[in-house]
Amino acid sequence: GAGVSQSPRYKVAKRGQDVALRCDPISGHVSLFWYQQALGQGPEFLTYFQNEAQLDKSGLPSDRFFAERPEGSVSTLKIQRTQQEDSAVYLCASSGRLAGYNEQFFGPGTRLTVL
Amino acid sequence: KQEVTQIPAALSVPEGENLVLNCSFTDSAIYNLQWFRQDPGKGLTSLLLIQSSQREQTSGRLNASLDKSSGRSTLYIAASQPGDSATYLCAVSGRNQGGKLIFGQGTELSVKP
């Protein structure tokens, strides 16, 4: 596609509910990143994939957060038993072969609100 | 651990002024530095990418400089317009960070007509 797309754009969940957020990276981009952005803050790193391999998940805040990219393209970020502190914008970014060296392109984000 | 700081947190200027946004980082072992724009409720739009070997990049009315040794970058916006109103974020990708971006907290810019 022309850019990174994310769905849904908005998600309202009741506390305790499970949610799944989807990211479609730019076609051909091997690197995919997830970030979490709290209100009024800069984005913070969650996890990184190179193709289907999850190379870094050091930013995932708890074991309720799980991400996958089984075929090396679309990625899903799953949050189990959502809590109010999970309310944030979840951003996905993709980049070319040399992660870190190449520019990252961001999707529009998914705004998650946990009631 | 890499830390990125942006000053000021908020800035309000009249239309037509030239302005400078500042970004500093603590670990100079970086691959690159990116400046982004974020409109309310939107994702991040990449404005400029400066590789560690470069000193500056220009795009239209925007000019970004990088002084890696002192851990500083500036984003210069010439002849500001109300449409420039947004939050500006800088982020670094470092050799000790595995490719992820470390962001500052952003500068919220308001350009008044």
B89 and A103: CB-CB below 8 Å? no
Q: Which of B33, B44, B51, B88 to mutate to test the interface with A (most CBs of A within 10 A)?
A: B44
Round the CA-based radius of gyration of chain A to a whole number and report it: 13
Work out the minimum CA distance from B16 to partner chain A, whole angstroms: 27
Hey, how many other C-beta atoms are within 10 angstroms of the C-beta on B60? 8
Distance between CA atoms of A99 and A107, rounded to whole angstroms? 17
- Rounded mean pLDDT of chain A? 93
For residues B87 and B99, the model is more confident at: B87
Task: Give the pLDDT band (50/70/90) at residue B42.
Answer: confident
Mean pLDDT along residues B39-54: 92
**Residue B84, helix vs strand vs coil:** helix
Task: Give the pLDDT band (50/70/90) at residue B98.
Answer: confident
Mean pLDDT along residues A31-50: 95
